[in-house]
Chain A
Amino acid sequence: DVKVTQSSRYLVKRTGEKVFLECVQDMDHENMFWYRQDPGLGLRLIYFSYDVKMKEKGDIPEGYSVSREKKERFSLILESASTNQTSMYLCASSFLYSYNEQFFGPGTRLTVL
């Protein structure tokens, strides 16, 4: 069974804090993705990576950065958290080629106060 895990289910941080969200997959997938999901806005792609140390901007990269030092791990970093980054964050992974399914992690509900 494919497993995508995220470091926390719920996280509460203060404005200005640096926040790390971690994602780990155990299927040797090349691609890893970070999305945020908000009511009325749907799922939006923040960043993705197709290889170690490689990253691509998605639709809404502003205010975020990512790190992929190992194939199985993809981190999303909020350098200085703001209240408008309060959201559900979902990580996903897939094999490299276009026709493959993305598998999602359980999500992290981040609240920035």
Chain B
Amino acid sequence: QKEVEQNSGPLSVPEGAIASLNCTYSDRVSQSFFWYRQYSGKSPELIMSIYSNGDKEDGRFTAQLNKASQYVSLLIRDSQPSDSATYLCAGRCKYSGGGADGLTFGKGTHLIIQP
């Protein structure tokens, strides 16, 4: 099982609707999670982080963490065509050397906002 799992999509959502992106994670992944957005041909940029159980809101974005179900989600309200991108879910992961944590990423969900 991959450490972080996402549905690769594409997920197609009409403009103005709510886009819901989900990921699940394994026991090896710690309780710090990140959502990155990656436009085609560009590098990932962080849009949300969440460390505690529950919801965290930032503008049109809401991240949700459910530790019991090992589930993380990202909601995008009032979706805009500029939100069309690949969204990567990532979690902290300990590696064998015992030093700093690395990030392990899901494969990403391709989101398309239809005008």
In the assembled complex, which residues on chain A have CB atoms less than 8 Å from the CB atom of B107?
A: 40-42
- A98 lies within 8 A of B88 (CB): no
Q: Is the CB of A101 within 8 A of B97?
A: no
Chain A residues, Cβ within 8 Å of B90 = 43
Whether A48 sits at the interface, judged by CB under 8 Å, is yes
Measured between C-beta atoms, what is the minimum distance from A25 to chain B in Å?
13
Residues of B within 8 A of A50 (CB): 99-100
> Interface size bucket, B side?
20 to 34
CB pair B95 A56 closer than 8 Å: yes
Q: Which residues from chain A contact B55 at a C-beta distance below 8 Å?
A: none
- Confirm or deny: A24 has a beta carbon within 8 angstroms of a beta carbon on chain B: no
> Which chain A residue has the least Cβ–Cβ distance from B4?
A42
Contact A96 B100 (CB under 8 A): yes
Docked CA distance A65–B90 (Å): 24
**Chain B residues with CB under 8 A of A41:** 107
Q: Which of A14-22, A69-77, A79-87, A104-112 touches B? A: A104-112
Over the window 87-107 of chain B, the binary record of Cβ atoms lying under 8 Å from chain A Cβ atoms (1 yes, 0 no) is 010101001110111111111
Contact of A104 among B43, B51, B96, B106 (CB under 8 A): B43
Within 8 A of B (CB), among A16-54: 30-31, 33, 35, 40-45, 48, 50-51, 54
The secondary-structure label for the interface of chain A is loop
Flag if A57 contacts B95 (CB, 8 Å): yes
The one of A42, A51, A59 in contact with B88, judged by C-beta atoms closer than 8 angstroms, is A42
With contacts A56-B97, A99-B51 taken as known, whether A33 is within 8 angstroms of B102 at the C-beta atoms is: yes
CB <8 Å contact, A56 and B102: yes
Q: Are B46 and A99 in contact (CB under 8 A)?
A: no
Q: Report B's interface with A, CB cutoff 8 A.
A: 8, 30, 32, 34, 42-46, 49, 51, 88, 90, 92, 95-97, 99-108
Residues of A within 8 A of B (CB): 30-31, 33, 35, 40-45, 48, 50-51, 54, 56-59, 90, 96, 98-99, 101-107
Closest 5 CB pairs of A and B: A42-B107, A50-B100, A104-B43, A43-B105, A56-B97
